[in-house]
Amino acid sequence: MKVEIKDSAFKPYEEIEHYQLSLQIQGRYGAVATFVGSMRDFNDDQQVSGMMLEHYPGMTEKHIEKICQQAMEKWTLLDVLVIHRVGEINIGDAIVTIAVWAAHRGDAMDACRLILEDLKSQAPFWKKEHAKGGDRWVKNNTSGYVRSEE
Amino acid sequence: MSITVKYFALLREQAGKSQENIDYRSGMTVAEVWQTVMNGDLPPDIKVAVNMEYTRADRGLDDGDEVAFFPSVTGG
């Protein structure tokens, strides 16, 4: 398992490939579930030009590790990678990457989803958007679906 | 004999500082730390952590503990 907080832009698919090459699980995994979350140029019907992402050094890493550990206890997984950006983020930058390796797709996909949702609702990060009307703290994450926002 | 108090995001901006130290008193709780630094009751929507673990407002503290206050998280 690897959890990393990065303060500069990263290439999610290169990171996943690089980590996979370092694992001694070739031939054992039948599924790799991945998620990449990126910075949009809009939120709450307003144009956004970028954002600052703050975290709680120490607790953030510790809490994500706990979330991954819980997923590894709930499903049969081979390995988990989580990378999350902090600092100044530009439109289009990757914010978070999650990759889960497992023998079977159900374990990999369910665990990837749970790690993401738990990270979004519990891991200590805070977004401050640079919006057209000025900087603003994001109060809550969206539900993850367009229709429920309507 | 002290407690380190940390603030994040909007709370950090409102406090005008990211952390401070306050005197530790035996039997002190997280809610009492907030009373000491903010002169009011801890709002229910403020999250609290002690030594980097989520906890409740009535959690008792030990000398040297790190208490953090922050708003709802918005990562990912």
List pLDDT tens digits, range A39-64: 999 887 789 999 999 999 999 999 99
Q: What is the pLDDT of residue A118?
A: 97
Cα distances from A120 to residues A144, B63, B73, in angstroms, run 10, 32, 7
Please, what is the average pLDDT of chain A? 95
- Tell me: pLDDT of A150 over 70: no
CB contact under 8 A, B76 and A55: no
CA closest to A125 among chain B residues: B75
Which residues in chain B are closer than 8 Å to A63, comparing Cβ atoms? 52, 54
Give the pLDDT band of residue B30 (cuts 50, 70, 90).
very high
Give the per-residue pLDDT at A43. Answer: 84
Backbone angles phi, psi at B75, to 5 degrees: -85, -175
Residue-wise pLDDT tens digits, A124-135: 999 999 998 899
Looking at residue A33, its pLDDT comes to 98
The mean pLDDT value for A95-102 works out to: 98
8 A C-beta contact, residue A118 and residue A65: no
pLDDT of the residue at A147 = 82
Whether B49 has its CB under 8 Å from any CB of chain A: the answer is yes
DSSP B29: B
Identify the CA nearest to B28 among candidates B50, B8, B7.
B50
3-state secondary structure of B17: coil
Query: So what's the pLDDT on residue A42?
Result: 84
- Structural tokens at position A30: 């039948």
Position A7 scores a pLDDT of 98
Identify all chain B residues contacting A138, using CB atoms and an 8 Å cutoff.
74
- Is the predicted pLDDT of residue A95 greater than 90, yes or no? yes
Please name the residue of chain B whose CA is at the shortest distance from the CA of residue A97: B76
Q: What is the mean pLDDT of residues A12-28?
A: 97
CA distance A86 to chain B (A): 9
